[in-house]
Structure 1
Amino acid sequence: MDHSTHIAHGTRRFGRVNWLGLYTLGRREILRFASVWTQTLLAPLVTAGLFMVIFTIAIGPRRGDVMGVDFVMFIAPGILMMTVIQNAFANTSSSIVISKVQGNIVDTLMPPLAPLELVLGYLAGGVARGLVVATAITVAFWLVLGLAPAHPIILLGFVLMGAAFLAALGMIAGIFANKFDQMAAITNFVITPLAFLSGTFYSVEALPPGLYQITHVNPVFYLIDGARFGMIGVSDSSPYLGFGIASLSTVAVCGLAWVFFKTGYRIKS
């Protein structure tokens, strides 16, 4: 028995994927937000609608066109992507922080799941939530505004990449934070500014040179800009460049999350 256990452990270490464990973790993360859908899915849809109504009434009539596009149509993709990334981040970060605060993070760490499998499992929940939110908002824009994606495949690619990037950042934030107020601070002082100051409600061409350069090193800008191209066919930068930068950024943060899971940083002590 000891010999067979050693063999199983050896093959496990040399690359066999624990598909059942990965599926179970991903399913748990998806069911976690689906079970409270009024909070995790309906609320973001209402919030996005309120943003559209407020900006349409307060600014729309006086703002005119932006980059040759009606202002309301211009901000719609930004609001969509902003909502997607906020929900993807919230899904992974809240799951890990709640588990740490309640003391049941061990239930996730004890099963034979490799660090990469933990990353992919949590990532599945964040990406699924972001995709569902994006689908609901896109349908609402089509029904209310008559706005259909100009390049649906490109839009889908940026939505998936945006959800993956922020879901990975959510894992890092959740691992780093030990209390809810630390998590709130990260959300308020890092994630919200990244979302709001990335061209969501304006073209970055209107920014002064300093802010213009700073914006172009922010991966969230490329996510919002790419979603705008996918939705209405206009953008401040090349969507292909944006997708490349977003992909590299996603790989980088997923790699950092993998390192944290592998070393047990702030989750095994």
Structure 2
Amino acid sequence: MKLEGATTLFYKEVLRFWKVSFQTIAAPVLTAVLYLLIFGHVLEDRVEVFPGVGYTSFLIPGLVMMSVLQNAFANSSSSLIQSKITGNIVFLLVTPLSHWAWYVAYVGASMVRGLIVGAGVFAVTVWFAPMRFEQPGWIVVFAALGAALMGSLGVIAGLWAEKFDQMAAFQNFIVMPLTFLAGVFYSVHGLPPFWLEVSHLNPFFYMVDGFRAGFFGASDVSPWISLAVVGVAFAAVAAITLRLLASGYKLRQ
């Protein structure tokens, strides 16, 4: 009975972002399209990362994955910090929900939001350049794993933060830089040797690179290596998240 009540909480979390879908879904899609228009227009005829793949085609999967990651993180983190600051978190604390139910509901809703935004970005941007689907299995695997990992990280951030300033710092100084430096707009093989090695320490890079491999069948590293790195990262973050939820970290104070 560890998951009893998880469905209700999951439904509540999905409704929370769906009620303001213009802000939570439409706005990120518009932002990604603006990135595409600016970078694609400037670099389309100057950069070819993979043979036979135009820069705009290369850019689209990166923007899709970036949108998935950022919005999955934003959903769980914003929900928890808002509940803590407004005080309505108490209505969840008095229920017999287990930490597993909390985890499944918050991370599950984050995955839904991240994947919906990602699908919206792809549906709009795919008209700007020809796309291929060489290995669609990788697309599904990395989109789901990436969204789950970032949803879990969002729960950690939401539990840790006590005010909106701390949450903004977490997102602006950790999530945002790691996302932008993950090869969304470029191939890491074009970097100097030192920065190439630094990029390989960024787990976000493996999410983006593995996801892009599903479209073109080409990537900077093997998708199996990316899967191993992302899988280990997800397992570690999920374990930490569950431990914090089980202990009531910064919830029962």
Taking structure 1 as reference, are residues 165 and 83 closer, same or farther at Cα in structure 2, changes over 3 Å only?
A: same
Q: Is the 8 A contact 1:73 1:232 kept in 2?
A: no
TM-superposition CA deviations, 1:38-75 (whole Å, max 9, x none): 111111111111000000222223x2311222111111
49-58 or 89-98, which deviates more: 49-58
Partner amino acid, structure 2, of 1:17: K
Q: Does 1:172 align with 2:156?
A: yes
* Correspondence 1:17 to 2:17: no
Q: Taking structure 1 as reference, are residues 149 and 134 closer, same or farther at Cα in structure 2, changes over 3 Å only?
A: farther
Task: Note if 1:71 corresponds to 2:55.
Answer: yes
- In 2, the alpha carbon distance for the partners of 1:108 and 1:135 equals 31
Cα contact 2:81–2:159 (8 A) shared by 1: yes
User: Is the contact between residue 60 and residue 122 of structure 2 (CA under 8 Å) also seen in structure 1?
Assistant: no
Residues of 2 paired with 1:178 and 1:254: CA distance?
Answer: 21
Distance 2:151 2:128 in 1: 29
Q: Deviations over 1:100-148 (max 9, x none)?
A: 1101111122211111221111011100011111222222233342424
State the match for 2:173 in structure 1.
Answer: 189
Q: 1:139 aligns with which of 99, 123, 132?
A: 123
Query: Which TM-score applies when normalising by structure 2?
Result: 0.95
Q: Which amino acid aligns with 1:66?
A: V
CA, structure 1 residues 163+54, in 2 after alignment: closer, same or farther (shift >3 Å)? same
Specify the alignment match of 1:8 in structure 2.
none
SS class of match (1:240)? helix
> Would you identify which runs of 4 or more consecutive aligned residues in structure 1 move more than 6 Å?
none
Q: Which residue of 184, 189, 204 maps to 1:220?
A: 204
Corresponding position of 1:157: 141
Alpha-carbon distance between aligned partners in 1 of 2:179 and 2:136, rounded to the nearest angstrom: 22
Give the aligned partner of residue 229 of structure 1. 213
The answer as to whether partners of 1:175 and 1:265 remain within 8 angstroms in 2 is yes
Letter matched to residue 39 of structure 2: F
Is the Cα contact below 8 Å between 1:131 and 1:159 reproduced in 2? yes
2:64 corresponds to 1:109: no
- Structure number with larger C-alpha Rg: 1
Q: Which runs of 5+ in 2 are unaligned?
A: none
Equivalences, count:
252
Counting aligned pairs with the same residue, the percent is 39
Aligned with 2:39 (options 23, 48, 55): 55
* RMSD of aligned Cα (Å): 1.3
Q: Which residue of 2 aligns with 1:7?
A: none
Q: Which amino acid aligns with 2:48?
A: D
